[in-house]
Structure 1
């Protein structure tokens, strides 16, 4: 047992099974439970404790309906959900760079307890790794109308939780061997867009020096769309769309109502862009704390002092199709409607058909949608940051593999077990196509090394993006980089068509 002292009290951790040279502490509160009088409010500091806190187990996850392999599920009544976990080298005589991880999950599911986010391998590379839980769904991102005479409930409470965790890191991480002046904030999918939002928020300024964004998602709500979602969720929950009405609904009632609203869109092909992927929550841009969306903010140089490393996969949306969480588009008529619903010109579809001559209609749709939501958005995030004077690095994870008779593509989430070095965990084998082989282990070693190098020095090991179009892109693959040109070709249609910014 190793004991560490935080501002709120002492905590105890244990050496990990995977690497006895690393100590892990789980479930450390970084803020008070956000329920009761604190529900829908900004996070408050956690209450101190006097006895040594045994940090052997992950803290409760945020309210959600998801049940993920190898991860805890939410139980109604769980309230102490704002906690974090730390992996740190057991015997190190120097102050180490810190990596703080924000999980993805469309802002409605996921947790820091997912097995692929185990920080042991990265800690073995000389980092102090922090993962955290934050409010999700309506609790974290739903708009709560103001009440006369009362202080308004802030939007983007999930982002405020993340800022509270970063402040905790600033104030406490030195006790665990970490350098509060060398913090890298990292995330994937909605976690990556959270990172991009925090880069643009004054409330997070100075709390991290570098950022890693894998598959940032093109989805920020407007105040109008957030208010409309609140009305729909309140109606589904059977309560008025007011503070009192929403506060009277239990967290489970709002989770169930949110699921019902999303399912209604999923079942209605005439419901516009939400039909294809009914993610109804996202950061609200254009409000106090987040005045503009992160892509616009980066283009304006709002975060040029932050070093940025971006990665995406070229077949992002095939995962969502494989797990049945998105609509299928199998006719030319439906493909045309999809393009219209997302303000995409016909020329973009025609260009993809030229690039994918053997593809089915649904495969063209998946390719376009994946680039609209993730690939092109992520690439532009790095490029616009560089053009505004920031230092940015861009990479693409293209590794594919045959798994149990079916091709496992370079799809959404497949890169994360490699970056964390968790490819051996059985829970990720669906993502990567089965148990890893020697080439997979070698790729994982290269990716964890790049993350550690970037966190330590700001240089992951390849040339940075320049202000000119195109430029250096690091290719992550188990084979020689012979297919880079194939994926580069998909950038050109977007340069002609433009990239519409999507609102949940």
Structure 2
């Protein structure tokens, strides 16, 4: 393909599988974050001569996961700070831009995952960008200051990587037909929480005008709790928890040490909230890079100038159970212990039992836990943003599919292939319950057009929330054409009552516990 000229050099991609759509993969947006640059803020990528071949995805950040369709990580891979672009190739800087930040508990994931292919969205007139960023301890571990003084390493290096990628987009996207004045940043799960953080970070101001949050997770740590995690990870790695010592530990060792710490929590029922969800790394709130967690910042009015589209699924935590990543709760006493560890009152459990009559304790746990981590947190972000005067749209993904054994529920991540229009990729069939049908394709078309409309105009196709946080919500399902309902008429993980789950939380008036 013909080259595209960036500030660092010329890049060449290839056809993406649809007429007129060009894909470019593995473009460096920052220098490799290892060696002298390890644990530092990202630096500009070095320029290159000639035409750089960008037809393959770049290596992923250090992690222990092996992801479908994505390259793995091996020691020695350095160019992990790369991005990918799908473009219709239109001349000029006129097309809206969608920048996607992947999820993965801040510890794993890749921009190369097949459900993140930007071809279908580019065919609707967007320039789509996906990116890799530092994960786990490399991206989110708290590094103590140097002994005797010296330059400290910033917290939230993964977020700073994302800002570096958005800065690259601002400076270069016109070469691919995109408008730097019309950028939407989007993400799911840890990626959605990253986006929420970016909307309130001063360093990201002006780099985008709209944001999409799918299943944001309540995962911000305090500086104190992040420092305690560093001590645990360092001990598991067999090294002192000092700036100098941690710099000498290879990334793979810190990945393994973080996995060891997580496994210890999972194996210890007396370890509190982390026993149920042992993710050990996440954004650190309370320091220079991120003074406040997103929900607190939204409540104080930050981020109100960014248009917001929030979506979550109605049965989030069932995916974690399906892949064996959820603590097993089979009795009412176990459910009571879970509630006590999270500071949840018995009345909230009683209300969920009423919403799920006859459901076993394990299903009540999955409903409550999914709402605690994802659905209620996402809804509160939308509420706070709207109340601060922001333009806020809310949606819920409720599509289920029956099949052999248990049905594929409207669980975590299931909405992503519909929003990207990647249902036909075999790698995503586990998420959606097999080969898609005609109704699934129709739903995907509605969702991709909603994303494209929001990125282009700020209007996804239904009314925004009112200033009091109330209003209407889009229900994404294969029944009907995407109905809009009052947000208090139907329920979270409760089939047929798609918003009733909020009533127990409102009745309890609970703050959401910090991890």
User: Which range, TM-score by smaller chain?
Assistant: over 0.9
Counterparts of 1:74-473 in structure 2, within 5 Å, are 74-91=73-90, 95-147=94-146, 148-473=148-473
Greater displacement, 43-52 / 87-96 = 87-96
Tell me how far apart the structure 1 counterparts of residues 184 and 208 of structure 2 sit (CA, whole Å): 6
Tell me how far apart the structure 2 counterparts of residues 432 and 337 of structure 1 sit (CA, whole Å): 32
Does the 8 Å contact 1:33/1:81 carry over to 2?
A: yes
The Cα shift of 1:405 comes to 3.9
Does the 8 Å contact 1:15/1:90 carry over to 2?
A: no
Does the 8 Å contact 1:116/1:416 carry over to 2?
A: yes
The Cα shift of 1:87 comes to 0.3
The Cα shift of 1:470 comes to 3.2
> 3-state SS of the aligned residue for 1:80?
coil
Q: Which runs of 5+ in 2 are unaligned?
A: 491-496
Counterparts of 1:14-29 in structure 2, within 5 Å, are 14-17=14-17, 19-29=18-28
Tell me how far apart the structure 2 counterparts of residues 329 and 311 of structure 1 sit (CA, whole Å): 27
Does the 8 Å contact 1:82/1:161 carry over to 2?
A: yes
> 3-state SS of the aligned residue for 2:59?
coil
The Cα shift of 1:95 comes to 1.1
Tell me how far apart the structure 2 counterparts of residues 297 and 492 of structure 1 sit (CA, whole Å): 24
Deviation string, structure 1 residues 13-63 (Cα, Å, up to 9, x no partner): 11112x021000000000000000000000000000011000000000000
Q: Which runs of 5+ in 1 are unaligned?
A: none
> 3-state SS of the aligned residue for 2:3?
strand
Residue in structure 2 matched with residue 498 of structure 1 by the alignment: 509
Deviation string, structure 1 residues 221-276 (Cα, Å, up to 9, x no partner): 00111000000000000000001111111000000000000000000000000000
Does the 8 Å contact 1:142/1:155 carry over to 2?
A: yes
RMSD: 1.2
Post-superposition, which runs of at least 4 consecutive aligned residues in structure 1 deviate over 4 A?
Answer: 91-94, 481-484
Residue in structure 1 matched with residue 69 of structure 2 by the alignment: 70
Residue in structure 2 matched with residue 59 of structure 1 by the alignment: 58
The Cα shift of 1:503 comes to 3.4
Residue in structure 2 matched with residue 38 of structure 1 by the alignment: 37
Deviation string, structure 1 residues 135-163 (Cα, Å, up to 9, x no partner): 00000000000012211100000000000
In structure 2, the CA distance between the partners of 1:332 and 1:82, relative to structure 1 (3 Å rule), is same
Tell me how far apart the structure 1 counterparts of residues 469 and 303 of structure 2 sit (CA, whole Å): 20
Deviation string, structure 1 residues 287-321 (Cα, Å, up to 9, x no partner): 10211110111111111110000000110000000
Greater displacement, 314-323 / 467-476 = 467-476
Residue in structure 1 matched with residue 494 of structure 2 by the alignment: none
Tell me how far apart the structure 1 counterparts of residues 280 and 53 of structure 2 sit (CA, whole Å): 38
Tell me how far apart the structure 2 counterparts of residues 361 and 500 of structure 1 sit (CA, whole Å): 24
Deviation string, structure 1 residues 459-480 (Cα, Å, up to 9, x no partner): 0000001123531100000003
> 3-state SS of the aligned residue for 2:499?
helix
The Cα shift of 1:340 comes to 1.0
Tell me how far apart the structure 1 counterparts of residues 484 and 406 of structure 2 sit (CA, whole Å): 23
The Cα shift of 1:93 comes to 6.2
Tell me how far apart the structure 2 counterparts of residues 235 and 372 of structure 1 sit (CA, whole Å): 31
Tell me how far apart the structure 2 counterparts of residues 171 and 283 of structure 1 sit (CA, whole Å): 26
Tell me how far apart the structure 1 counterparts of residues 245 and 465 of structure 2 sit (CA, whole Å): 49
